[in-house]
Each structure stands twice: as structure tokens, then as C-alpha cells.
């Protein structure tokens, strides 16, 4: 018997793994000290727990522990990276390069900087959601100080040529930032080999708690510097002031370690489940796949059911949790905008509003995949019948 609702929105957030929760619990009640209170034992225990987590997180991306700065999440990390570099390097240049399909917090950060006098180049992507490294190269000018390209897209799952862009930035002496929120813990990342200078990610995308994230900042070869965006008592090497979320950080570290330990086996499982779901849904008449057919996240599936309104489909299919796009594209709850990502890959508004994103995860079963495929087909048939009768 399938337990409902069936959750297939793992790109939006993930449930906290019980192993993560177990690691966190003592830091809410027993080891509740402030990691900055180094005059007593409770503070020492908290500080040590934070540093252990920092080591685990750094190891996952081949960084040094001192290069990991804790934040409240990926949105803050992206803001800190982009605005921090722009404000610090303003005297050297005012040009920033990014792409059409970045997360809203990246695009909005760039928009804010544009109002301050910075020049922003937003590069197009191809029909599969991939940016061409040559387009990045051709957009560079003498005033370019930062290039920000997301590692893997949160809607269509397409993985970008990060190593190629990183090599280009290294050759040109330009700071390279990537929003790797959907990628860390899901696909291998090596900040050294890929020449990444700044990398943003968050705990709650990998079965850790919400409200905690990190920003990797390269410390040498070359050293990358940013201007702090939050002033205070100088926590996190003076780059992000504020009392550390010790329990959250402990959970973050545990979640990352579990994800890395299980990545290879989990990806094989997710590829199988995703491809099974994809095969079943694409048998539906007038359906099409969005994103790159092979170079995308193993748990991502984004499909357009042409002629069916996705909001209506999700309302009818209330025993399955999927989404019509990013959880961060709505003006208000229940008022979803037409996805800028789908627009960028060439879908018109009608097709964009007929699109469903499936995010599979650690607790997705084959039985759930089959159930969701059946529900999609059943509800789609019902809606098309109503439409032909003039009811919808």
C-alpha cells in the first residue's frame, strides 16, 4: 500500500534524515553553548562540533576547512559572494557575467548591483538549458570582475560546463562563482580541479535542516577576497557576523558526509527510478522532456504535458507532491509566475504552464514511481475529457 502524499519535490527541499536528526538533538538541549563563548566548556564543545562539521563539508568539495563560511542558506551565500566580490573589486571593474537560468537570488543580486552602476551581461543558453563556454569567453571585457554560472539547474537539472568555464576564468584572472545548491551531494565536485573560487550551497537540499548553508571562498592560488555584507562581532573570519546555528551546522556536516558516502550507489538507484518514470510519462500523447537528455541531475525530470494546465493537474492530483517549477519563483503563495528557465529554453507561456517538475530522492521507491505515473496519466485523461466537453 502506497503511503500518500507521495513526495516528488526533492529539488524544493528534502526531509531531514533520521541519522542527521539524531546527530543534531544533543545540541538543542545538552550541548547548547554558543560556539563563540570560549570561556567555558559548553562553548568549547559547540566550537569543536562546528569545526568537525566544517571539515566534513570542506572534504566533500576538496576544499580546506578554513575556506568554508557558514551562512543561513544558499540565498545568503549567493548574495554574499556576488555583492561581496562586486563591492570589493569595484575599483578594478564593473562588469559581471551570468546566465538567463540562474536562481532568482543570483539574478536579483545582479539587478541590485546594476542599479548601483555595475554592468551585467546575462548570457543565453541553448534549447537544453546549457550555456556555451565560448559565449562566456566572448562576453569578457577588460572590466569583467566576476562570472557566476550555476552548477546544475534547479528546474530542468541541466549540468553546466563548470570546469571549462573555471579554466577560462583562471586564465583571465576573473573570479568564478557557482551556485552549486542542487549539485553538492548529488554529483562529484572538486573546487581545485574545476578552478572554482566561490561556491554556494545549502543543507536542506541534502537531507539536512533548513536555515543553514555555506559559502566556499578560495584561500590561495589565487586567494579570493570578498567584502562582508553583514556587520557585527566578526564571526566566520569577519566575513559573516552572527551567532552560529550550531545544531544546524552539525546536521549539515552529517548530511554532507552521508550524501558523499552513499552518492555512487544512490545515483545508480536514482538514475533507474528517474528513467523509469520518464519512460512511462513520455508515453503520454503530446508530452516532451525539458533539459539536457543526459547531462543533468540523476534525480531530475521536467516534462511538459502540452494542452494540460499544470496547476489544474496538481490540484486534481492532490495525493502527489510535485511542482510546476522552482519554489522561489512565486510572487505570493499560490501565484506561480511563468518560469524564466522554461522561457529561456524556448517554451512559450502556454507550454510553460503545462510543465511539471519531478524531483526524486533518497526515500523514493519504485512503487511510488509507478503510482505517480499512473496518477499523471489518469488525471491528464480526466482533464482532457473535461476540456473537450467545455468544462475546463
pLDDT, tens digit, for every residue of 312-367?
A: 999 999 999 999 876 555 544 445 568 999 999 999 999 999 999 999 999 999 99
**pLDDT surpasses 60 at 388:** no
Interval 150-183: pLDDT, tens: 999 999 999 999 999 999 999 999 999 999 999 9
Q: Is pTM beyond 0.75 here?
A: yes
Q: What CATH number matches the domain at 18-257, 3.40.1550.10, 3.30.1540.10, 3.40.640.10, 3.40.50.300? A: 3.40.640.10
Bridging pattern class, strands 300-305 and 355-359:
antiparallel
Q: What percent of the chain has pLDDT over 90?
A: 89
Q: Using CA atoms, how far apart are residues 166 and 178, in angstroms rounded to an integer?
A: 9
Among residues 375, 371, 361, the alpha carbon closest in space to that of 301 is found at 361
Q: Using CA atoms, how far apart are residues 219 and 197, in angstroms rounded to an integer?
A: 9
Q: How confident is the model at residue 234 (pLDDT cuts 50, 70, 90)?
A: confident
Across all residues in the chain, what is the average pLDDT?
94
pLDDT of residue 210: 98
Q: Using CA atoms, how far apart are residues 11 and 222, in angstroms rounded to an integer?
A: 33
Helix (H, G, I), strand (E, B) or coil at 215: strand
Q: Using CA atoms, how far apart are residues 9 and 19, in angstroms rounded to an integer?
A: 21
Domain range summary for the chain, segments of one domain joined by +: 6-14+262-388, 18-257
Q: CA-CA distances (angstroms) from residue 78 to 33, 85, 108, 286? A: 28, 11, 10, 38
Which residues belong to the active site?
Answer: 328
Fold of 6-14+262-388: 3.90.1150
Amino acid at each position: 500500500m502506497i503511503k500518500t502524499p507521495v513526495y516528488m519535490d526533492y529539488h524544493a527541499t528534502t526531509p531531514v534524515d533520521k541519522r542527521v536528526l539524531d546527530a543534531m538533538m544533543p545540541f538543542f538541549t545538552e550541548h547548547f553553548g554558543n560556539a563563540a563563548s570560549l570561556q567555558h566548556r559548553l562553548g568549547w564543545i559547540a566550537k569543536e562540533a562546528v569545526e568537525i562539521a566544517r571539515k566534513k563539508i570542506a572534504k566533500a568539495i576538496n576544499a580546506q576547512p578554513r575556506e568554508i563560511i557558514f551562512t543561513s542558506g544558499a540565498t545568503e551565500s549567493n548574495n554574499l559572494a556576488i555583492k561581496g566580490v562586486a563591492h570589493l573589486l569595484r575599483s578594478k571593474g564593473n562588469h559581471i557575467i551570468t546566465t538567463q537560468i540562474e536562481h532568482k537570488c543570483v539574478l536579483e543580486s545582479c539587478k541590485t548591483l546594476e542599479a548601483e552602476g555595475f554592468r551585467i551581461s546575462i548570457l543565453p543558453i541553448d534549447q537544453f538549458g546549457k550555456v556555451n563556454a565560448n559565449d562566456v569567453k566572448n562576453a569578457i571585457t577588460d572590466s569583467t570582475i566576476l562570472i557566476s554560472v550555476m552548477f546544475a539547474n534547479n528546474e530542468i537539472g541541466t549540468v553546466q560546463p563548470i570546469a571549462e568555464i573555471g579554466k577560462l576564468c583562471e586564465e583571465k584572472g576573473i573570479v568564478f562563482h557557482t551556485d552549486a545548491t542542487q549539485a553538492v551531494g548529488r554529483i562529484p565536485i572538486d573546487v581545485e580541479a574545476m578552478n572554482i573560487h566561490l561556491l554556494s550551497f545549502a543543507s536542506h537540499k541534502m537531507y539536512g535542516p533548513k536555515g543553514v548553508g555555506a559559502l566556499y571562498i578560495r584561500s590561495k592560488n589565487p586567494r579570493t577576497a570578498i567584502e562582508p555584507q553583514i556587520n557585527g562581532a566578526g564571526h566566520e573570519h569577519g566575513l559573516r557576523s552572527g551567532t552560529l546555528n550550531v545544531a544546524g551546522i552539525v546536521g549539515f556536516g552529517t548530511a554532507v558526509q552521508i550524501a558523499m558516502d552513499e552518492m555512487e550507489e544512490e545515483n545508480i538507484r536514482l538514475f533507474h527510478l528517474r528513467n523509469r518514470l520518464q519512460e512511462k510519462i513520455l508515453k503520454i500523447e503530446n508530452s516532451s522532456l525539458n533539459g539536457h537528455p543526459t547531462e543533468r541531475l540523476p534525480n531530475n525530470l521536467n516534462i511538459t504535458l502540452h494542452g494540460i494546465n499544470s496547476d489544474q493537474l496538481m490540484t486534481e492530483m492532490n495525493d502527489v507532491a510535485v511542482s510546476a517549477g522552482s519554489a522561489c519563483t512565486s510572487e505570493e503563495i499560490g501565484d506561480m509566475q511563468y518560469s524564466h528557465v522554461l522561457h529561456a529554453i524556448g517554451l512559450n507561456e502556454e507550454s510553460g504552464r503545462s510543465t511539471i517538475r519531478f524531483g526524486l530522492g533518497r526515500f523514493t521507491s519504485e512503487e511510488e514511481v509507478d503510482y505517480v505515473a499512473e496518477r499523471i496519466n489518469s488525471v491528464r485523461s480526466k482533464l482532457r475529457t473535461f476540456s473537450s466537453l467545455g468544462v475546463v
